[in-house]
Homo-oligomer: A and B are copies of this chain.
Amino acid sequence: MSNTQNSHTSPVAERQLVLTLGCPDTTGIVARLSSFIAQHGGWITEADYFTDPDSGWFFTRQAVRAESLDTPVEEFRAEFDEIATGFGPGARWRIWDTARRKRAVILVSKEGHCLHDLLGRVDQNDYPMDVAAVIGNHEDLRVIAENHNVPFHHVPFPKDAVGKRASFDRVAELVNEHEPDAVVLARFMQILPPDLCEMWEGRAINIHHSFLPSFMGARPYHQAYKRGVKLIGATCHYATSALDDGPIIEQDVIRITHKDTPADMQRLGRDAEKIVLARGLRFHLEDRVQVYGNRTVVFD
């Protein structure tokens, strides 16, 4: 039995422990990790490593077949906690037991293509994820949520600052009661206030309809049209208090021509948006993403 088998099985297909670690790079980390896992009989199905040359920070993700371990998960976790103290100041690690499905709340507005696409994926069991709720600042997408048996909450957003703040508080309340692993902004057209970005740091996932950093902010397709670009794009990133400037998880582009108006771009761009969001969310849910500074490691 190997302790590194990249058979690339999805966490949906079998129970795994997914161990992720980020720490200052020092001697023998890999040796200690692989010995520890091997001692417990762990069958590694996927292993990735990366050291950032600038910061000297080391990152790894290892997926272990749960049934190959000779100890219960909690014990394994406790033992790892002990050796992890040797990984230096600031080390961050996590062991996710895929038997625990992740929970998401999805925030939407009027455009339904991303929501429709995500819920379709959930129904066909693409993700190790349940959707606890959909929250919309309009009623339009209730039907999509309810078709998939997901509760829909309508939280209207008034124009005035005080009313808007109250709405955000209501959204936060609705979100937090589910303690979600992912807060998905699926074409939610409201800008999250800084305190919510902070509260959901590393969990709030946005899809922006441009190839960032081009065309940040409002109406990116109109900006793209005005600039006369020959490709348009979509970017999935963690939301931070710096608008459209958070760590990027995934991006893609599609080709356009001089014939395409902003309305055409909107239509064509929807496919890029939903595909890029779906990929980025999958990476997040499967613990494939680690953030350092404003950059991400994505072990895909």
Stretch at the interface among A92-100, A169-177, A196-204, A209-217: A209-217
- Sample of 6 further A-B pairs with CB below 8 A, known A10-B263, A116-B120, A228-B294: A2-B30, A4-B58, A4-B60, A27-B38, A50-B258, A226-B294
1/0 per position for A250-280, CB-CB distance to B under 8 A?
1111000111110110010001000100100
- Is A159's beta carbon under 8 Å from chain B? no
Within 8 Å of chain B (Cβ to Cβ): is A147? yes
Question: A7 vs B252: C-alpha distance in the bound complex, in angstroms?
Answer: 25
Determine how many copies of this chain the complex contains: 4
Chain B residues within an 8 Å CB radius of A90:
none
Query: Which chain B residues border A112 with CB–CB below 8 Å?
Result: 120, 123-124
Residues of A within 8 A of B (CB): 1-10, 13, 25-31, 34-35, 38, 44, 47, 49-53, 58, 60, 112-113, 116-117, 120, 123-124, 126, 147, 211-215, 226-231, 233, 247-253, 257-261, 263-264, 267, 271, 275, 278, 293-298
Contacts of A229 in B (CB 8 A): 212-213, 248, 251
Inter-chain CA distance A117–B212, complex, in Å, is 26
Q: Which residue of the partner chain, among B53, B215, B226, B263, contacts A261 with CB atoms under 8 Å? A: B53
Instruction: Tell whether A31 pairs with B3 under 8 Å between CB atoms, given A227-B248, A251-B230.
Output: yes
- Complex-state Cα separation, A112 to B29, whole angstroms: 42
Residue of A49, A212, A249 with most chain B CB atoms under a 10 A cut-off: A49
B213 touches A13 (CB 8 A): no
**A8 contacts B275, CB within 8 Å?**
no
Once the chains bind, are A31 and B34 in contact (CB under 8 Å)? Answer: yes
